[in-house]
Structure 1
Amino acid sequence: MNRFHTLSAARREPEAGPGALSSLLWATLAGLLIPCVVLVVGLISLLLESRELRQASARLGANLYIQLPASFVDQPPLVQLTQLTSLAFAMAVVLSVAVWRHRRLADRRAAAITKALHQKVLKQSVRRAELEGAAAQSLNAQKLIGRHLPAVQAGLSFWYRSMPRSLFLLLGCVVLALLVHIWLAVVAVISGVMVWRMYRFVRGSDLDEVGRWELPQLRAQMAALVGRAPKMARLRAQGIAEASFQHELDQLYQKLREKDAERARVWPLMFLAASAAIAIMVIGLGLNLLETEAGLSLSSAVVLGLSLAGAVTGVWRLQSLGKKLRDSGTACDAVYSYLRRSDEATPSEQRVGLAGLRDGVEFRDVTLVDSHGQPILNHITTEFTPQSLVTLLGTDSVSPQAMVELLMGFGRPGSGEVRIDGLRLLEVHPASLAKNVMWIEPSGPLWDGTIEENLAAGSGGTISNADIVDALREVDVYDQIQRLPEGLSTYATVEGVSLSTEATYGIGLARALLHRPPILLVGEPPAPNAQLADDPCLKAIKKLVDQGSLVVMLPRRLQTLRTADRVILLNGPNLAGEGKHSDLLADSDLYRHLNYLLFNPYRPGR
């Protein structure tokens, strides 16, 4: 694969368009100004060499002639030098501005593209959550936002900074060198390529493989032998451990000697090769300098040397770009692989709506596996009826959380199905599901906005301030909110740093009291250290149940288990039992053990 096509998908984003023309103009100016500066420096060198410029045409190479205006030729040598130096300085200033503007535009375009990709990741995560689950999207987002997207932005920025500026620099300097003297330029290019190829050949990739793989492996084997040596000594192995360790030690230092020997020969050989190339160039240049009038001058040698240096800089920039694209290309592939739409999802326009909950929710032989094929849920069959409080308790948190995510429409069972009022969950429109299912967690959840906006959002203006106050009083957080400087108008962030966990959890429950969702899913926070005899949050949940809601909870408090109409017990991915708290305590050793681990205040370590 051509490495210079690795970011083509990102560079085709609509956000790459704005600023493209101005970026091209600044890149052209920055790339071609350097050969122009070299020409001016060549004229300065020719002026210093000949002490004056009296001819209308200044010769800087075999085929390189610069036409000088008559007004410049008639000036005294010192004035000529001042004008040429001022011109070189002015060009350097323009070059600096061009490089700065080009860099700013490159960074701005890369940032705009990457910012748009962040938005696409958010939208795609909502869609893919319907297939893979919400937890999987969190892991994907950590990789994409934490590692891949920054790599894509860095690669795009380097691309826009290098292309086409470095290409213009390379072409301009090569053309200039060829105009000075074709054969000397060709010899210089061939010599440089041969020296580089020789360096790659002498250094090779074996040194990297030895340092990256073989030496760590040998050291790991030696460490393992040291760990086993005491046990082998008990077996009276007659020095087997020492002999094995000595063998590995000899191998390690043999590899180190080979590595040191290879490294020791690289730079002497490179010095000899570079010296030979320089000697050939000096002899060729000397032959031209010592010829008749057709020969080169010292100013021509200056122009040739600076042109070759500029060409080397352009090649180095392009090579650095290739290395950068190797990493950013992989990251770009990962991003667009995630953004690729899946055909497995049912189109939203073909799904049906849901008007409340009448019959209940049914899990029919549901099996769910993770990305490694390990079961999360294994042939789960159960049902949830309206006007009931059901808790999910398991030996690990993954399986109960997976059941809750399935109820929210996230994830797709490998086998079996989830039905709501007889409808397959996959046939229910996500927007309709969002209106009928509400999720509450210890953090609320809260989004950026005032507390009042968090509570009344989505109501269409039907919720009054008095309703909000009553709901907050029911969950016993109104007084705490009123103590805030701005009360209900306090701006709450996603982190909710100004509110306690009990307060954010209470706000979430107050939102449920105001909206009365048919299905309420609750992730309960741990009980506070000083528990009240009556939990106002649990009372609010019971009120919703009495009003007809189905409440499914992930419990963290013993009182919740005691109050629940039914407890579903999971042992890993398997259904281990279900029933009232008291019945499971009497019949299930696993349930008693979990209660001891979670709620016994006298258990050691609590």
Structure 2
Amino acid sequence: MSAQDTAGRPPRRTGPGPGPGGPMGMGMPGDKAIHFQQSLLRFARSMRPERGRVVALMLCGVASVALAVTGPRILGHGTNIIFEGVVGKLLATQFPPGTTAEQAVTALRAAGEGRLADMLAGMGTVVAGQGIDFDRLGRVLLGVLAIYGGAFLFGWLQARIMTVAVQNTMRRLRDEVEAKLHRVPLGYVDKQQKGEILSRVTNDIDNVAQTTTQTLAQLVTSVLTVVGVLAMMFSISWILALVALVTVPLSVWMTARIAKRSQPQFVAQWAATGRLNAHVEEMFTGHSLVKVYGQQEAAAQKFAVENEALFAASQKAQAISGTIMPSMGFLANLNYVVVAVVGGLRVASGQLSLGDVQAFIQYSRQFTQPLTQVASMMNLLQSGVASAERVYALLDAPEQTPDPASPTGVEQVRGRVAFEDVSFSYDPAAPLIEHLDLVAEPGQTVAIVGPTGAGKTTLVNLLMRFYEVDSGRITLDGVDTRTMTRDALRSSIGMVLQDTWLFKGTIEENLRYGVRRDISREDFLAATRATHVDPFVRHLPQGYDTVLDDDGTALSVGEKQLLTIARAFLADPEILVLDEATSSVDTRTEVLVQHAMNALRSGRTSFVIAHRLSTIRDADAIVVMEHGQIVETGDHASLLAADGAYARLYRSQFAAPVATE
């Protein structure tokens, strides 16, 4: 599309978020954090189709955690077996071999060794002179190995199920975004930077996937571990369990405080990422122009500003959220010290066995570990939710008006196009087109000319329903285009823009884009010869199988334009729109293409937007527009004779400078 209507178009947005303008005039996100809970719940709804796998994931988590929390208790029995064997050997130095624990306790109390007697009473099956029961110890160790092996197996299965569930969700999310981009109006795309949209479709969705993969199963496992460990801790000693629980409220409070401070920084981080991507994409696309105008330093300076903004936001986000782990580690160590001291005193008093205290210390570590893991995942979770909200903001963007439920069709398009009292503006405060009437009869070529910002391309946008008219109507063969589906309307219109668009693929694939599949090879080659594509393509090493990159940099600007013209020829539309279609073609080629266009326009309604007036002299009707209004209509000769707006435009292009002596 040409740049001629930029004066009437809404300004392109330079930043992705609301809020006051930041460096380089770009919008910065507000200070307030995003709606964390709402976005998290919405993502949970996105995973609803995977609820079967999520249930299986949780069941595997329950089995894995149940086995994992059973291990320390059984391992404690092994510690008791070893300790009892050691104590039995020591008792043999004071008591005859075979003396039971009860007998030794009675003798110790009688001798005034009450503390030692209490400790020995809590050991159970100690026999003087009897060492470690290795058979019994071996069975305990084998049981522990089996338990931990089962925990590993269920944990691995949980990870596999989670990966499938998350990737299925991401695939659906990408499909939703792709479908959404086809439903948003052109006005939405005009207001966004390409790099910003690409960042949401790629970086943000990837970040959501990575965050979910790393946190979902771990959160489930952590919650289940806390519940299971608490149950085991209370079964060993409710006093020690209460001591261990003292640090929980402090941990929750500390994590919440840190998360509240870091969340706005993660929002700023991903907004800055989008702006940086947009700048890089723009500079890469216009790399040659940046060099031609010597703007490398300015581009580098702007990159430095955006890169610094991203650095600052990322550093703040990571620095603040990074304090969670050390804080939780400190509380965990404090909890460990308290449990070790209180547990040691209870072993000494005979109220607990050494194996129980060892198991409890392991449980206290298992109890604080999931809390620490949850805290460490908060920065990932906040980053992922910030990205998810950016994706959902795209999915919530306003859509173009839907096609009518009972559309009206045109059985055979003849090509009569009528603008009836049409008014339109990009901005209600700045009217552009008001009460315009224009009729193009079937087979007629209508040229639209005028100065920049007159509204020429806007007429085409309204015809294609890229934008909807504010009032009045546009009809095709007497049918209001708003009562037709967009696909039905656009399928009868071929369009060639000033800005060429080619995708990565062969030249033939680019030419056949959107063209009916049953076109014969003869018709294909006839069209390429008519548009003068065939001669230069045959000089390429691979001919029509030559692979182009996504912007066709292997070809000249004129050659790329010829390819887009040939593509329109092959589409064989009933209505043709040529928006500065020959502006990039050299003069000699333009003459040849004009002859081909004349043949193509035969029997078709054509709209030709042109600044180069020499290309539209043979048009059936020339419409001159100024400020959204039609100021003159007629053919080339009559408009020159009228000596009005068209004559002034024509003279400005063809008047030769006056020679002076």
Tell me the amino acid that sits aligned with residue 46 of structure 2. A
Shift of 1:105: 3.6
Shift of 1:449: 6.9
1:446, 1:494 within 8 Å by CA — same for their partners in 2? yes
Q: Describe the shift of the 1:149–1:78 C-alpha distance in structure 2 as closer, same or farther (beyond 3 A).
A: same
Name 2:289's counterpart in structure 1: none
Number of aligned residue pairs: give it. 518
Q: Describe the shift of the 1:404–1:152 C-alpha distance in structure 2 as closer, same or farther (beyond 3 A).
A: farther
- Aligned mate of 2:216, from 156, 160, 173: 160
Q: Describe the shift of the 1:186–1:576 C-alpha distance in structure 2 as closer, same or farther (beyond 3 A).
A: farther
Name 1:388's counterpart in structure 2: 445
Distance 2:643 2:480 in 1: 36
CA deviations over 1:459-518 (Å, ceiling 9, x no partner):
463x32222111111111112323445544556676446555444432332343344312
Name 2:489's counterpart in structure 1: 433
Distance 1:346 1:452 in 2: 30
Shift of 1:418: 2.3
2:407, 2:484 within 8 Å by CA — same for their partners in 1? no
Tell me the amino acid that sits aligned with residue 35 of structure 1. V
Distance 1:144 1:39 in 2: 49
CA deviations over 1:285-308 (Å, ceiling 9, x no partner):
2432221x33342x3233223223
Name 2:591's counterpart in structure 1: 535
Q: Describe the shift of the 1:125–1:382 C-alpha distance in structure 2 as closer, same or farther (beyond 3 A).
A: farther
- Aligned mate of 1:330, from 389, 410, 422: 389
1:35, 1:173 within 8 Å by CA — same for their partners in 2? yes
CA deviations over 1:555-591 (Å, ceiling 9, x no partner):
4756546666666566676767777789699755998
Distance 1:114 1:329 in 2: 11
SS in 1 for 2:352: coil
- Aligned mate of 1:352, from 396, 409, 416: 409
Name 1:231's counterpart in structure 2: none
Name 1:27's counterpart in structure 2: 61
Name 2:41's counterpart in structure 1: 5
Tell me the amino acid that sits aligned with residue 302 of structure 1. Q
Q: Would you say 1:295 and 2:352 are equivalent positions? A: yes
Name 1:367's counterpart in structure 2: 424
1:149, 1:331 within 8 Å by CA — same for their partners in 2? no
Name 1:126's counterpart in structure 2: 182
Q: Would you say 1:188 and 2:247 are equivalent positions? A: no
Shift of 1:193: 1.9
Tell me the amino acid that sits aligned with residue 552 of structure 1. F
Q: Describe the shift of the 1:429–1:333 C-alpha distance in structure 2 as closer, same or farther (beyond 3 A).
A: closer
CA deviations over 1:442-465 (Å, ceiling 9, x no partner):
54556867716843865463x322
Q: Would you say 1:308 and 2:367 are equivalent positions? A: no
Q: Would you say 1:466 and 2:522 are equivalent positions? A: yes
2:558, 2:585 within 8 Å by CA — same for their partners in 1? no
CA deviations over 1:50-103 (Å, ceiling 9, x no partner):
447999xxxxxxxxx9xxxxxxxx997556666666665666566556545534
Q: How does 1:211-360 map to 2 (within 5 A)?
A: 280-291=338-349, 293-297=350-354, 299-319=355-375, 320=377, 323=382, 326-328=385-387, 330-331=389-390, 333-338=392-397, 344-353=401-410, 355-360=412-417
Q: How does 1:570-581 map to 2 (within 5 A)?
A: none
CA deviations over 1:133-187 (Å, ceiling 9, x no partner):
7756996954641455345434543453335333222222222222221222122
Name 2:158's counterpart in structure 1: 102
Distance 1:493 1:267 in 2: 47
SS in 1 for 2:468: coil
Distance 2:65 2:429 in 1: 56
Q: Describe the shift of the 1:532–1:276 C-alpha distance in structure 2 as closer, same or farther (beyond 3 A).
A: closer
Distance 2:465 2:644 in 1: 33
- Aligned mate of 1:379, from 427, 434, 439: 434
Q: How does 1:433-452 map to 2 (within 5 A)?
A: 433-441=489-497, 442-443=499-500, 451=508
Distance 1:207 1:152 in 2: 18
Distance 2:508 2:524 in 1: 10
Q: Describe the shift of the 1:120–1:323 C-alpha distance in structure 2 as closer, same or farther (beyond 3 A).
A: closer
Q: Describe the shift of the 1:450–1:100 C-alpha distance in structure 2 as closer, same or farther (beyond 3 A).
A: farther
Distance 1:274 1:157 in 2: 26
Distance 2:580 2:137 in 1: 82
Name 1:408's counterpart in structure 2: 464
Q: Describe the shift of the 1:586–1:318 C-alpha distance in structure 2 as closer, same or farther (beyond 3 A).
A: farther
1:390, 1:553 within 8 Å by CA — same for their partners in 2? yes
Distance 1:591 1:28 in 2: 83
Distance 2:526 2:329 in 1: 85
1:133, 1:411 within 8 Å by CA — same for their partners in 2? no
Distance 1:47 1:591 in 2: 108
1:377, 1:573 within 8 Å by CA — same for their partners in 2? yes
- Aligned mate of 2:478, from 415, 419, 422: 422
Name 2:535's counterpart in structure 1: 479
Q: Describe the shift of the 1:26–1:154 C-alpha distance in structure 2 as closer, same or farther (beyond 3 A).
A: same
SS in 1 for 2:469: coil
SS in 1 for 2:438: strand
Tell me the amino acid that sits aligned with residue 72 of structure 2. V
TM-score normalized by structure 2?
0.63
1:134, 1:411 within 8 Å by CA — same for their partners in 2? no
Distance 1:476 1:40 in 2: 84
Q: Would you say 1:49 and 2:83 are equivalent positions? A: yes
Q: Describe the shift of the 1:329–1:78 C-alpha distance in structure 2 as closer, same or farther (beyond 3 A).
A: same
- Aligned mate of 1:111, from 155, 167, 176: 167
Between stretches 321-330 and 419-428, larger displacement belongs to: 321-330
TM-score normalized by structure 1?
0.68
Q: How many percent identity over aligned positions?
A: 16
SS in 2 for 1:532: helix
Distance 2:487 2:424 in 1: 25
Alignment gaps of 5+ in structure 2 = 1-34, 89-99, 101-121, 123-129, 269-323
